[in-house]
Chain A
Amino acid sequence: MNFNIALAGNPNCGKTTIFNILTGARQHVGNWPGVTVERKSGHYTYSDYKFNLIDLPGTYSLTAFSAEETVVRQYLIDDVPEVVVNIVDASNLERNLFLTTQLIELGRPLVIVLNMMDMAEEKGLKIDTETLSTLLGAPVVSVVGRTGEGVDILKEKILRVATEQSKKSRPININYPRDIETELQKLSALMEVSNDKDHLDRWRSVKLLESDKDTRDEMRLRSNGSEILDQTNISTERIETLFKDTGRAIISYARYGFIQGALRECVEENLKLSTDYSRQIDRVLTHRWLGLPIFGFFMWLMFKITYDLGSIPMDWVDAGVVMLMNFFSGILPSSMFASLLVDGVIGGVGAIAVFLPNIFILFFIIAILEDSGYMARVAFIMDRIMHNIGLHGKAFIPMIMGFGCNVPAIMGTRILESRRDRILTVLINPFMSCSARLPVYILVGGAFFPEQAATVIFSMYVLGIVVAITSGKLFSRTILKGMSKPFVLELPPYQRPTGRSLLLHTWERGYLFIQKMGTVILVGSVLVWALGYFPREVELETDYQTIETQIKHKYDDQSIELSEKYIRSLEQSEREYHSEMVPFLQSKNYLSLKAQHDSLGYLIHTTEKLEVYANKQAELGEIMSKRWIGRLGKVIQPLIEPLGFTWREGVALITGFVAKEIVVSTYGVLFGVGEDVDEASQGVIQGLRSSGMTPLVALGFMIFTLLYTPCLATVAAIKRETGTWAYTFFSIGYSLGLAYSLAFAVNYFGRMFNWLS
């Protein structure tokens, strides 16, 4: 037998943690308000019954102001779960029970879970769960989510409520002041006439007094609808004159009145302020003068760790990819299939795989920021700046998540309450430099700014932020005029993140990236490989074979000449040799001559190798320029020439639209690395340097990569979250135009003043 169970509760009440413990399913656990924006489901079996769990979004109320509140309300009314499990933060009982009063009125069998009992005790709260259970008319179970203490009892309680629900009497009523009760009874009586389906009339009456739009609309469909609405207007007016406030406010006051009455009977307060350790931490982290520098330091540290620490495992992955490529090209006969597998699939995906360590480290750090509760402080610290762009401080959170990947970040804009705020945040999000762009900076920045790579990369991130802020300001004054929603943000207590949650969190996001590697990037890589593989036969203007023979001859001649010279000098030196002390072969003259010869020989040998290599590169360059990939690049070359880009950059940028990481693998194909060169990225760096790119052009190229049209997956996310093609095309066009203008400006002024040439 199956039971449907819904988990409901406030943001930050630990709902997701309990969901994880119950189902063992992979699930995102955060600490800033509103992290669970989607309905997540899972299931578990307990004493032969199957329980299907829905993790409802965290909400403070069911007023249906935000998308989350609407989702919860609709689910509870329409899907009729057998049991609603209301997770309540015991250390913050009064406000958490506000939602509980609404859940009680919805009439579904309820189990109340007092989570974070350890924190409540630390705070000096003693809760009499039995009395609370009687007052709320539902079983109360105390649980410590972090340790899993009490979960077995919870499962047992859920089972009992689910199986016995038909026999059990209906839950208690929340008692309102007598004048309100009178009106509620009048409304309920009218409603009972036209309802035989459920027992929600009392709830609907309350909603009518709150002037709830959805309920009013529902009443219009009833046979005695006009009568009910007339009574509603009379009743609302009566209590509003009586209490001198709006119906909604009066009902909310009354709910808190009920809660305070209940808490007086079952909570013993012995508050110990000294144990408010969160406040102590906040004295430093959100300190007047230290708060911002500390935040800046954390951001800097985040990138330092991602870049520096990530470079160690990066080398291992790189070596592994090369080993794989060598292995397959060793056992497979040279064929199209071998080339597809080695250069297209392994080479293409491998070029991205080397950045997995960086990306996982970044996601891990973001998970720490979220789970510890610091993210909410980020919103607190940054609100004034975000407000200035016309956004809520909370909007900083999806912005900062954009550093990981714009796709989940754009999905994360759902935490914002107004549609205008969401669209604005979605539009400026792609300028937050996602982790996919990091490989491009590492490669190009590393090749042209080896000494200041970290600084150059950091400034790319800063530039992205500046562009996002400027664009945000521009949009909020033009296409998205209007005030943002009031800022009402809970600052949850700091928590030590659990390792399990951090790993789950990192893995979930990282997995999205791996999935992307397996699909979009794989297809993109194969496409890029095919563009560089066909047509097979190209006519070359230069005879590279002859040049190579000439080079070899030239150096052979030089070697022979060197040897002859050496022999002559040896003969002469021996003739002039007079010392009787040591044999000639041990004399100083002989040894210095030999050393001279060896180093000259080595020099000749290396120069020969280098010239042969350069010749091969030139040949490959010409071949590539005549294949599809080069022709494509040549077509757009006139367009990007003002930016200092060659056809290679053109190709890389076009293919980068599939996913920005592909810019790197495209370069891999263009420079044909992975055949002779032992380290793939080293080959591309060599190729880039010898392709005539200057540091100035490299800078322009990085800026272009940062700003231009977001990748395919991001475009899809923008379409999904804004709901219109208009904003989607606007976003594509705006970012492309901006990228072009800035890269042009860099190239134009850079040349004018001779920077970085």
Chain B
Amino acid sequence: MFNFKKPRHKLSEENKDGLRLSDLKPGEKGRVLEIGGSEQFRLRLIEMGLTRDTEVCVDKYAPLLDPLELIVKGYHLSLRGIDAQKISVERSN
């Protein structure tokens, strides 16, 4: 019913096989490299402060394991795993 192993979203060549936000475990931090997905989705996230090079911390996952909770720019934001998978990051701690 809940399948996170859907085909990976298209990102540019260099980040194709890289780490995704959804790969981070609770407590781990990452730096945003690129956001994939639809233009509207990308823009909404950028507006919410997930700009390039922003540090995000995965705080936890919801009781049913989806969505996840991030700390970004000092506030708490929630995204679904399937959307977090569109965000490529590099580990930063």
**Contacting pair B73 A486 (CB below 8 A):** no
The answer to whether B77 and A98 touch across the interface, beta carbons within 8 angstroms, is no
Q: How far is the CB of B84 from chain A (nearest CB, A)?
A: 10
- Knowing A246-B39, A248-B39, A252-B51 are in contact, say whether A383-B44 is a contact too (CB < 8 A): no
Which of A63, A288, A486 counts the most B-chain CB atoms under 10 A from its CB?
A486
Q: Is A490 part of the binding interface, using a Cβ–Cβ cutoff of 8 Å?
A: yes
Contact of B76 among A292, A487, A491 (CB under 8 A): A491
| B49 close to A384 (CB less than 8 A) | no
A406 at the interface (CB under 8 A from B): no
Verify A291–B80 contact, CB threshold 8 A. no
Partner of B44, one of A91, A282, A287, A486: A486
Roughly how many angstroms separate A387 CA and B4 CA in the complex, as a whole number?
13
> Closest Cβ of chain A: how far from B25's Cβ, in Å?
13
Chain A residues whose CB sits within 8 angstroms of the CB of B73 once the complex forms: 92, 94-95
- In the complex, the answer to whether B80 meets A486 with C-beta atoms within 8 Å is yes
Assembly CA distance A73 to B2 (angstroms):
38
**Contact, CB under 8 Å: A488 / B45:** yes
**Interface residue from A92, A278, A381 paired with B64 (Cβ < 8 Å):** A381
Q: Closest B residue to A489 by CB, please name it.
A: B78
Instruction: Let me know if B40 is at the binding interface, CB within 8 A.
Output: yes
Cα distance, A379 to B78, chains bound together (Å): 10
Q: Please, which residue of chain A has its CB at the minimum distance from the CB of B42?
A: A249
B43 touches A249 (CB 8 A): yes
Query: With A248-B39, A383-B67 as given contacts, are A98 and B78 in contact (CB-CB < 8 Å)?
Result: no
Evaluate contact between A486 and B39: CB separation under 8 angstroms. Answer: no
B67: contacting residue among A63, A388, A487, CB under 8 A = A487
In the complex, which of the residues A92, A287, A289, A491 has the most CB atoms of chain B within 10 Å of its own CB atom? Answer: A491
Q: A487-B80, A487-B83, A488-B77 are in contact. Are A380 and B46 (CB under 8 A)?
A: no
B77: nearest chain-A partner, CB-CB: A490
Which chain A positions have C-beta within 8 A of B75? 92, 95, 490-492
Q: Does A253 contact B (CB under 8 A)?
A: yes
Q: Which residues of B contact A379 (CB under 8 A)?
A: 78
Chain A residues contacting B63 (CB-CB under 8 Å) are 286-292, 381
Given that A380-B69, A388-B1, A393-B67 are contacting pairs, would A491 and B77 also be in contact in the complex, using a CB cutoff of 8 Å? yes
Q: B69 is contacted by which of A246, A292, A491 (Cβ under 8 Å)?
A: A491
Cβ of A279 under 8 Å from chain B: yes
CB-defined contacts of B76 to chain A, threshold 8 Å: 278-279, 490-493
Chain B window 30-43, contacts with chain A (Cβ cutoff 8 Å), 1 for yes, 0 for no:
00000001111111
A216 to B: closest C-beta gap in Å:
16
- Write the nearest CB–CB distance from B24 to chain A, whole angstroms: 16
In the bound complex, how far is the Cα of B42 from the Cα of A252, in angstroms?
Answer: 11
Please pick, from A94, A384, A387, the residue contacting B74 in the complex, using a CB distance under 8 A: A94
B78 and A491 form a contact (CB under 8 A): yes
Considering only residues 249-286 of chain A, those with a C-beta below 8 Å from chain B are 249, 252-253, 256, 271, 278-279, 282, 286
Is A749 an interface residue, CB under 8 A from the partner? no
**Cβ-defined contact, B47 with A380, below 8 A:** no
Residues of A within 8 A of B66 (CB): 383-384, 387
Q: How far is the CB of A470 from chain B (nearest CB, A)?
A: 15
- CB distance A489 to B77 under 8 Å? yes
Alpha-carbon distance between A670 and B63 when the two chains are bound, in angstroms? 50
Please give, as numbers and ranges, the residues of chain A lying within 8 Å of B37 by CB-CB distance.
Answer: 486
Q: Does A60 contact B (CB under 8 A)?
A: yes
Residues of A within 8 A of B83 (CB): 486-488
Q: How far is the CA of A123 from the CA of B71 in the complex (A)?
A: 14
Q: Is the CB of B61 within 8 A of A488?
A: no
Beta-carbon contacts of B41-65 to A below 8 Å, as 1s and 0s? 1111111110110000001111111
**Interfacial residues of chain A within 287-322, with CB under 8 A of chain B in the complex:** 287-292
Which residues of chain B are near A383, meaning CB under 8 Å? 62, 66-67, 78, 80
Determine whether A753 belongs to the interface, using a CB cutoff of 8 Å to chain B: no
The size of the chain A interface, using a CB distance under 8 A, is: 44
Asked if B79 lies at the interface with its beta carbon under 8 angstroms from chain A, I say yes
Chain A residue with minimal CB distance to B60? A286
Least CB distance, B46 to chain A, in whole angstroms:
4
**CB pair B59 A279 closer than 8 Å:** yes
Of the residues A91, A388, A488, A491, contact of B48 by C-beta under 8 Å: A488
User: Complex Cα distance A490/B80, Å?
Assistant: 12
A252 touches B2 (CB 8 A): no
Interface: A27 (CB within 8 A): no
B-chain residues with CB within 8 Å of residue A388 when the two chains form the complex: 1-2
Task: Indicate if the CB atoms of B49 and A380 lie closer than 8 Å.
Answer: no
Q: In this assembly, does A236 line the interface, its C-beta being within 8 Å of a C-beta of chain B? A: no
Of chain A, the residue at the smallest CB distance from B67 is A383
Shortest CB-to-CB span from B42 to chain A, Å, is 6
| Interface residue? A385 (CB, 8 A) | yes
A593-618 interface bits toward B, Cβ cutoff 8 Å, 1 = contact, 0 = none: 00000000000000000000000000
Q: Within the complex, what minimum Cβ distance (angstroms) separates B56 from chain A?
A: 13
How far is A490 from B78 in the complex, measured between Cα atoms in Å?
Answer: 6
Complex CA distance for A488 and B63, rounded to whole angstroms? 17
* Per-residue interface assignment for chain A, residues 167 to 185, with 1 indicating a CB less than 8 Å from any chain B CB and 0 otherwise: 0000000000000000000
A17 interfacial by beta-carbon distance below 8 Å: no
Question: Complex formed: what's the CA distance from A388 to B66 in Å?
Answer: 11
* Cα-based distance from A254 to B75 in the complex (angstroms): 21
In the complex, which of the residues B47, B65, B69 contacts A63, with contact meaning CB atoms closer than 8 Å?
Answer: B47
- Evaluate contact between B49 and A95: CB separation under 8 angstroms: yes
Q: Decide: A256 near B69, CB < 8 A? Known: A286-B62, A380-B78.
A: no
- The verdict on A380 contacting B62 (CB below 8 Å), with A98-B49, A488-B77 known, is yes
Within 8 A of A (CB), among B1-18: 1-2
User: Contacts A63-B43, A92-B73, A381-B64; is A256 near B80 (CB within 8 Å)?
Assistant: no
Q: A528-555, CB under 8 A of B: which get 1 and which 0?
A: 0000000000000000000000000000
Question: Is A95 within 8 A of B48, CB to CB?
Answer: yes
- What CA separation (Å) do A393 and B77 show in the bound complex? 13
Chain A: CB-nearest residue to B43: A248
Specify the chain A residue showing the minimal Cβ separation from B76: A491
Please measure, in the bound complex, the distance between the C-alpha atom of A135 and the C-alpha atom of B42, giving whole angstroms.
Answer: 28
Question: Is A61 an interface residue, CB under 8 A from the partner?
Answer: yes
Is the pair A385, B47 in contact by a Cβ cutoff of 8 Å?
A: no
Given contacts A381-B64, A486-B83, contact A60 B48 (CB under 8 A): yes
Contacts of B78 in A (CB 8 A): 379-380, 383, 393, 487-491
Which chain B residues lie closer than 8 Å to A282 at the CB level? 60, 69
- Contact residues in B for A290 (Cβ distance below 8 Å): 63
Known: A380-B62, A384-B2, A486-B41. A253 touches B52 (CB 8 A): yes
Residues of B near A487 (CB, < 8 A) are 67, 78-80, 83
B12: nearest chain-A partner, CB-CB: A244
Q: Distance in Å from the Cβ of B13 to the closest Cβ of chain A?
A: 12
| A231-B79 Cα distance, complex, nearest whole Å | 38
* B80: A residues at CB distance < 8 A: 383, 387, 486-487
Rounded to whole Å, the gap between the CB of A592 and the closest CB of chain B is 69
Given contacts A63-B43, A291-B63, A380-B69, contact A123 B74 (CB under 8 A): yes
What are 30 A-B residue pairs whose CB atoms fall within 8 Å in the complex? A63-B47, A92-B73, A95-B48, A249-B42, A252-B51, A253-B46, A253-B51, A256-B49, A271-B74, A286-B62, A286-B63, A288-B60, A288-B61, A292-B64, A380-B67, A380-B78, A384-B65, A385-B64, A388-B2, A393-B67, A393-B78, A486-B41, A486-B79, A487-B79, A488-B79, A488-B83, A490-B75, A491-B69, A491-B75, A491-B78
Chain B residues proximal to chain A, CB less than 8 Å: 1-2, 37-49, 51-52, 59-67, 69, 73-80, 83
Query: What are the 5 closest A-B residue pairs judged by CB atoms, nearest first?
Result: A291-B63, A384-B64, A491-B76, A489-B78, A61-B47
Q: A248-B39, A380-B62, A486-B40 are in contact. List 6 more A-B contacts (CB 8 A).
A: A271-B74, A286-B63, A383-B78, A384-B2, A487-B80, A492-B76
